[in-house]
Chain A
């Protein structure tokens, strides 16, 4: 295969992973921007989405049903975590919140190993999405295009809600001026809890659609959480557009990095992260704190 034909395919690979990453990181980055809470358990919630989907699929046989139920379950769990655990340690500071969510991630990971076992699970792709599609002379798996479609729908909806509706304006305002919004009579802790739920649900959804694509296994949380942290740092604290840009960059960096310098490909994103932290600590599109 000549190099010109590889480039668009490689670009698509990077785009698919990047958009999946954005789906998971969107909730995380808004929460971080709003309350300064870096949720270590976010990757674990994403993993739970994949495992819930596996079990729902096994019981009911409906992929679409699992795409509906699993995110709701994970979102509910996110709400519970915020309400009953995170809120209690808020007064101890951000490092303490990080410790707590790290503990939660640790427990979820062990529970997953206990319930579903250590071995990777095969999640079957539903019939209509199983084949591949031809366009512009490229043959590409349908399922990956489906991931792109879902990601595109979700973040269009997310952008419209965030920038065009009252609820979105409250969230964005709370991200940049949390105390002012609180003073204006808006219940910021409630907004935060809701956002935690939505963020969890998005992570769960990403888990459902990512499960068949990235192999459902107990290490998937640890793998993605590091990418997520890179996205948060590179994109800028609390910036949704930054998260989109960073997810895209990391997806492509991994995709083309493996093509060009397979040995050092994984190191690139950590170098990028370190570079951004050192040169522009507020991130590419972040505001100066």
Chain B
């Protein structure tokens, strides 16, 4: 997107997103909000999965921790919602630091297993610590309006909430995009390709992995906080294994190899789930089969498949014009 056409495309998408509430119904707007929230979640996951080459089965811990933190802060301390959402991110970040200290020592299957163990630890804690989390019943609240310096912004109305989520999501996506150009972001790719070499060049890969893990926890926490504010409800379903594997599915199906892949995955799966679940109850099986086919034949997901096909097509076109 450093090219000019890339910026133009980006501007078109932003304008479209800004105009969306005029174009679509309120129901579709809710869908758009869900997609934006899951895009942030999937992008945070892809810092580990696609960019860092680490398969995590425990990213729901940070999503859920942020979600609970946000609801509890609003409910108990009546903090303003935007602040609570940022603090939800901070909560995810701190949990990421706590677990990351141990987790980032692992690679491959051990990494997957330890993240899973920590995820389940948070899950059972949320389930059993009823006094704080409400156990299986969860916690419900009403999304409060935002007061500042005499202004009042009604975040309860869907359209205002849409613009709020859009703003936060764009900031998150923008930062994560920027991160890929920073030395830390570059090092993340480098460690995926050849960690030994990164060490040899003199990088402290442990600290770098930890930093990436903490950043990833932060954005997962933000996404979780936005999700619980959106649903006005949080329960253990925010942390369970299904949530942890949902984000894996989205990221993988969209493709972890490109920056936009996870967004495509979040978009496609959320939309298809919504469209098909009403008249095709067994969409999940199709989703599973699609997942397996991609694992077998297109390990870089839909976006990777698109790039491969585009390359092949343009090469063929080049050959044809040459002859």
Q: Which residues of B contact A100 (CB under 8 A)?
A: 292, 295-296
How many whole Å from A85's CB to the nearest CB in chain B? 7
Q: Which residues of B contact A52 (CB under 8 A)?
A: none
Q: Which residues of B contact A232 (CB under 8 A)?
A: 113
State whether A270 and B124 are in contact (beta carbons under 8 Å apart), knowing that A95-B108, A99-B252, A114-B282 are contacts in the complex: yes
Q: Which residues of B contact A267 (CB under 8 A)?
A: 121, 124-125, 128
List residues 93-128 of chain B with CB under 8 A from any CB of chain A: 102, 105-106, 108-110, 112-114, 116-118, 120-121, 124-125, 128
How many whole Å from B226's CB to the nearest CB in chain A? 26
Confirm or deny: A76 has a beta carbon within 8 angstroms of a beta carbon on chain B.
Answer: no
Among A102-110, A142-150, A201-209, the one that faces the other chain is: A102-110
List residues 117-144 of chain B with CB under 8 A from any CB of chain A: 117-118, 120-121, 124-125, 128
List residues 102-146 of chain A with CB under 8 A from any CB of chain B: 102-104, 106-107, 110-111, 114
Per-residue A-contact encoding for B20-58, CB less than 8 Å = 1, 0 else: 000000000000000000000000000000000101000
Confirm or deny: A229 has a beta carbon within 8 angstroms of a beta carbon on chain B.
Answer: yes
CB-nearest residue of chain B relative to A102? B245
Q: Which residues of A contact B275 (CB under 8 A)?
A: none
List residues 204-231 of chain A with CB under 8 A from any CB of chain B: 222, 226, 229-230
Contacting pair A38 B109 (CB below 8 A): yes
Q: Which of B108, B117, B289, B295 is close to A270, meaning CB atoms less than 8 Å apart?
A: B117
Confirm or deny: A15 has a beta carbon within 8 angstroms of a beta carbon on chain B.
Answer: no
Q: How large is the interface on A (under 10, 10 to 19, 20 to 34, 35 or more residues)?
A: 35 or more
Per-residue B-contact encoding for A75-87, CB less than 8 Å = 1, 0 else: 0000000000100
Contacting pair B299 A266 (CB below 8 A): no
Confirm or deny: A160 has a beta carbon within 8 angstroms of a beta carbon on chain B.
Answer: no
Contacting pair B121 A111 (CB below 8 A): no
Q: Which residues of A contact B117 (CB under 8 A)?
A: 229-230, 233, 270, 273-274, 277
For the complex, what is the distance from the CA of A36 to the CA of B109, rounded to whole Å? 8
List residues 259-277 of chain A with CB under 8 A from any CB of chain B: 263-264, 266-267, 270-271, 273-274, 277
For the complex, what is the distance from the CA of A98 to the CA of B299, rounded to whole Å? 13
How many whole Å from A280's CB to the nearest CB in chain B? 12
Interface centre among A88, A100, A267 (most CB of B within 10 A): A267
Q: Which residues of A contact B296 (CB under 8 A)?
A: 85, 88-89, 100
State whether A271 and B121 are in contact (beta carbons under 8 Å apart), knowing that A103-B292, A103-B295, A278-B102 are contacts in the complex: yes
For the complex, what is the distance from the CA of A107 to the CA of B286, rounded to whole Å? 8
For the complex, what is the distance from the CA of A83 to the CA of B296, rounded to whole Å? 13
| Given A36-B109, A233-B113, 4 other A-B residues pairs in contact with their CB atoms under 8 A | A85-B296, A106-B287, A229-B116, A266-B128
- Interchain residue pairs A-B with the least CB separation, the first 10: A107-B288, A103-B292, A106-B288, A95-B55, A270-B121, A103-B291, A273-B117, A110-B284, A110-B285, A266-B124
Q: List 24 A-B contacts (CB under 8 A).
A: A38-B109, A85-B292, A88-B296, A92-B299, A93-B108, A98-B109, A99-B248, A99-B252, A99-B295, A103-B295, A106-B245, A107-B285, A110-B284, A110-B288, A226-B116, A226-B241, A267-B124, A267-B128, A274-B114, A274-B118, A274-B121, A277-B102, A277-B113, A281-B106
